[in-house]
Structure 1
Amino acid sequence: MSVASVRPEEIHPSLWRASQLARGRGRVVDTGYPVLSAELPGGGWPLGGLVDLLVQQSGIGEMRLLRPALSALGSRPVSLVQPPHLPNGLGLAYIGLGLERFLYVRAQKTADALWSTEQILRSGSAGALIFWAQRVPSSSLRRLHLAAQSSETLFVMVRPALTAQDSSPAVLRLAIRPSADGLMVDILKRRGPPRAEPLPVPLQPTPVLFSRHARLPRRSPAIAVPRGVPADVGA
């Protein structure tokens, strides 16, 4: 066999040609949207790494986009860190996600939220962790990405669209915006060639999933109390 005929993945599963989607042995969970899965390396959301969802405004459909993947994780817990509003139990139940699966983390400071996120990732307790954040130092992003690599967690950070110009260790970066029947998805970074055209992803209408007036059953939301937060984790 000549050197020219050897495929990159035969040398190492993390290698791929720039003209092709990576097809390594990375862990993924199906997105539930064939048109989107076909554009992602491995055919789904990557597990054990940072995924960036960049939005013009929180609550434009990120939870509906992630809903099939959250369902595919079975009964594993889902951690919500700094969501825009309280989770709406009735709305989540309507799309098949029981509120008892969710851990809602409210932090008074960015440093507290970053600390909580890192601890959840390192514990490996969550099937998915969704963190709504604003500006986060690149050193903190790298730290969280490293913590996620030791887990089987779907780790998604929902951040402002303006952060697209900032560097990120994320293995996948998508910018999403509303469309008439769902979302338009721009693939900003993936392990493979760039995609110039936005990708339309239809979403089913749902009740409100987050609300200022939603109520949480029985237990109070978790309050983040940091201990020994490294200096480079703060905002």
Structure 2
Amino acid sequence: MSYSASAFSSHAAAVQSVVSTLPHALWRANQMGSYQGLVTASGHALLDRELPNGGWPHATLIELLLHQAGCGEMRLLQPALAQIAQQRRIVLLQPPHLPQIAAWNSAGLPGEKLLWIKAARSTDALWSAEQVLRNGSCGALLVWQSQIRSEALRRLHLAAQASDTMLWMIRPLNAAHESSPSPLRLSLQPARNGVEIQLLKRKGPQHEQAFYLPLPAIIPEITPVAAPVIFLNPSASPHHGSLDRHTSSTARAGNLAPALG
């Protein structure tokens, strides 16, 4: 009996030793997990307390599931994006509205650091997202998709893990019941002067209750104002917005990477 107890004790010590050397790979469900890569503070102290490592993780897929577009998602992300825009470009892929450059500038997001990519098909959009992640010149990628297959999500998650680009996938709230490889999923509901957040999935203990996060007001984002744009539809005309003359109006597999450089 004493031998068994001793063996068990040695085994437990060995397991604990392994766990202590792999803090980012192993975590207990009742403890807050951590990420091995970089993290950017969200700019909202209440939210940072609920996120592993205290912020948005780089090199991983983050899902924002919205009750409706424009319910506060851009105000939520603005502080983190402003940090990234100081040094690197931000890509907006298939946003539901035209980027309002005056609003972005007033929020500390220079228009010259934004790249708007418009694709004719979902497959083109997902291909573009992979190219942005592999290119590595952009600091953040925001992708809006109403429907996406789980295999495509896994591909994007793997591509994100091989880069240091921050990746947000913005989807409708009804996608919450679908499986996802994302280690961090949040749902957003509009609330007076802010947003109601539900942590659907994170590396840490389950968060049962939604919480209210006040958000500062910014200029509306949907007024049609000129923005740098790449069209991925060869037949598309630039009537949706002015075209950045430094990029081609038709971005195919051969010329998207130079546009990102």
Give me the TM-score of the superposition, normalised by structure 2.
Answer: 0.81
Map 1:128-139 to 2 at 5 A. Answer: 128-139=140-151
1:12 aligns with 2:22: yes
| Alpha carbons 2:97, 2:221 under 8 Å: kept | no
2:234 aligns with none
Q: Indicate the structure with greater helix content.
A: 2
Cα distance in 2 between the residues matched to 1:115 and 1:224: 12
Match of 1:34 in 2: 45
SS at match of 1:52: strand
The question of whether the paired residues in 1 share the 8 Å contact of 2:64 and 2:171 is answered with yes
Equivalent position of 1:155 in the other structure: 167
Would you say the 8 A contact 2:67–2:190 is kept in 1? no
In 1: Cα distance, 2:207 partner to 2:73 partner: 20
- Larger Rg: 1 or 2? 2
Within 2, Cα distance between the matches of 1:188 and 1:91? Answer: 30
Aligned to 1:219: 244
Report the Cα offset of residue 210 of structure 1. Answer: 2.8
Of 187-196 and 69-78, the range deviating more from structure 2: 69-78
Report deviation, 1:7: 7.3
1:68-111 CA distances to partner (integer Å, 9 max, x unpaired)?
11112222100000011111111111111111101100000111
1:77/1:127 contact within 8 Å kept:
yes
**Against the structure 1 CA distance between its residues 173 and 224, is the aligned structure 2 distance closer, same or farther, given a 3 Å change threshold?**
farther
User: Structure 2: which 5+ residue stretches go unaligned?
Assistant: 1-8, 228-241, 255-261
What is the CA distance between 1:59 and its match in structure 2? 1.6
AA aligned opposite 2:252: V
Bigger relative CO (Cα 8 Å, ≥ 6 apart): 1
8 Å Cα contact 2:226-2:243 kept in structure 1: no
d(CA) in 1 for partners of 2:34, 2:18: 10
Secondary structure of the residue aligned to 1:6 is helix
Q: Please tell me the residue identity of whatever aligns with 2:78.
A: R
The one-character-per-residue Cα deviations of 1:41-70 (angstroms, maximum 9, x if unpaired) are 111001101000000111211111111111
TM-score normalised to the size of structure 1? 0.90
**Letter matched to residue 20 of structure 2:** E
Q: Structure 1 75/156 Cα, relative in aligned 2: closer, same or farther at 3 Å?
A: same
Which secondary structure state, in structure 1, belongs to the residue aligned with residue 217 of structure 2?
Answer: coil
**Cα gap change, 1:107/1:157 in structure 2, threshold over 3 Å: closer, same or farther?**
same
